[in-house]
Amino acid sequence: MKDLLHSIHPDTVVVDVNPFSLATANWYQMLSQFRVIAYLSYPFYKPKQIYQAFPHLMLKEKWEFGRHMLVPRKVWAKRLISLFDAVICQSTITGQSITYQTRSRIPVHIIPPGIDKTLWNSIKKINNNSSEKFFLFVGAATGIRGFFLLLDAFAKLSDHSIRLKVLARGADENKVKEIETEVVRRKMQKRVLIKGGFLGIEELKREMQSSAAVLLPFVLVQSELPVSIMESIACGTPVVVSDIDGLASAVGDAGIVVPQGEPYSLTSAIQKLHQHKDLMTNLKTACTRQAENMLSWDEVSDLWLKITET
């Protein structure tokens, strides 16, 4: 890597870092002759947040996130200040945390994620003649994404007319059967529809727009990039998310934010959306405003260029 960088001799080097790599990677020091920016694609969680998420994580994920708890904040903050010229992150919450932990001794730039506006900026309204509305879960049906937490929340609903559709994107037949087992175990097979495989973009749009709301109660996020959240809002569909990382700021007024890892709060949010038509109308209006404020990827790249070329 050293030889490669010397041959290219870039004006600026951007390095993807996390607390564990900051404490253990020695090769960062060879970058001292360059202007180096730390990119935080990984959210810098508080130990309490990781601890609360542990019951929902697989063994590999427990190691992946748990090792960051071993690194004292003073250590990674000191390394950021001494090894890098600036920091780029994707959420206001992470930016504020880094600024506080480093005592403002390193510039912190917040560049939110973008969305492909050629795909998501002019979505046609769908005529949905069905009187039955589903709440929708999109993505891998895993504990870290809050899927089993969501099933627990649904099991607590007193109104059994509230239905859930699971778009387990990429799930093969065996994975779908595993999901079905979890649904049956909670005695909800008549209330949950599961669809695996891969969805095209137009089908995904239709599914999102025809749902009552999209439910994405992550217990931790492996990246701060809330793609499904932004896509749902662009479809005019409210979102329910956990108060973790940049999810709350991505939702804004276009959804409901619940505490991390709390099924009762999630149950309450679902009931509220189902019962209060005015709330749903207001959230859909907020979706339009929120979508208008999203950046395109061209705008995101311009912000990156502005910072890296400064």
CATH of the domain at 227: 3.40.50.2000
Confidence of residue 129 (pLDDT cuts 50, 70, 90): very low
Per-residue model confidence (pLDDT) at position 3:
83
Tell me: do 125 and 74 sit in the same domain: no
Per-residue model confidence (pLDDT) at position 285:
94
Per-residue model confidence (pLDDT) at position 2:
76
Per-residue model confidence (pLDDT) at position 120:
84
Confidence of residue 167 (pLDDT cuts 50, 70, 90): very high
Per-residue model confidence (pLDDT) at position 123:
60
* Assigned token pair, 129: 């003649």
Average pLDDT estimate for 87-106: 94
Confidence of residue 4 (pLDDT cuts 50, 70, 90): confident
Tell me: do 71 and 153 sit in the same domain: no
| pLDDT tens-digit readout, 110-125 | 999 999 988 886 566 6
Per-residue model confidence (pLDDT) at position 80:
96
The residue out of 110, 126, 152 marking a domain boundary is 110
pTM value?
0.92
**Does 191 fall in a domain?**
yes
Tell me: do 19 and 93 sit in the same domain: yes
Q: Higher model confidence: residue 246 or residue 135?
A: 135
Q: Higher model confidence: residue 44 or residue 128?
A: 44
Confidence of residue 169 (pLDDT cuts 50, 70, 90): confident
The residue with tokens 């600026």 is 12
**Does 307 fall in a domain?**
no
Tell me: do 50 and 123 sit in the same domain: no
**Does 145 fall in a domain?**
yes
Average pLDDT estimate for 103-109: 97
Total domains in the chain come to 2
Tell me: do 158 and 268 sit in the same domain: yes
**Does 302 fall in a domain?**
no
- pLDDT at position 100 over 50: yes
The residue out of 83, 110, 137 marking a domain boundary is 110
- pLDDT at position 5 over 90: no
Tell me: do 199 and 245 sit in the same domain: yes
Tell me: do 134 and 258 sit in the same domain: yes
Confidence of residue 227 (pLDDT cuts 50, 70, 90): confident
Average pLDDT estimate for 280-290: 94
Average pLDDT estimate for 135-146: 95
Structural domain that includes position 95: 2-110
Q: Higher model confidence: residue 124 or residue 248?
A: 248
- pLDDT at position 32 over 80: yes
Between 96-110, 215-229, 240-254, the lowest mean confidence (pLDDT) is in: 215-229
**Does 135 fall in a domain?**
yes
**Does 299 fall in a domain?**
no
Tell me: do 45 and 101 sit in the same domain: yes
| pLDDT tens-digit readout, 9-18 | 898 999 999 9
Per-residue model confidence (pLDDT) at position 224:
65
Tell me: do 135 and 284 sit in the same domain: yes
| pLDDT tens-digit readout, 170-221 | 899 999 999 999 999 999 999 999 999 888 888 999 999 999 999 999 999 9
Residues 6+ apart with CB under 8 A from 72: none
Per-residue model confidence (pLDDT) at position 43:
78
Tell me: do 161 and 196 sit in the same domain: yes
**Does 90 fall in a domain?**
yes
Tell me: do 150 and 183 sit in the same domain: yes
**Does 301 fall in a domain?**
no
| pLDDT tens-digit readout, 51-73 | 999 999 999 999 999 999 999 99
Tell me: do 153 and 66 sit in the same domain: no
The residue out of 76, 110, 144 marking a domain boundary is 110
Q: Is 118 exposed, middle or buried (0-12, 13-18, 19+ CB in 10 A)?
A: exposed
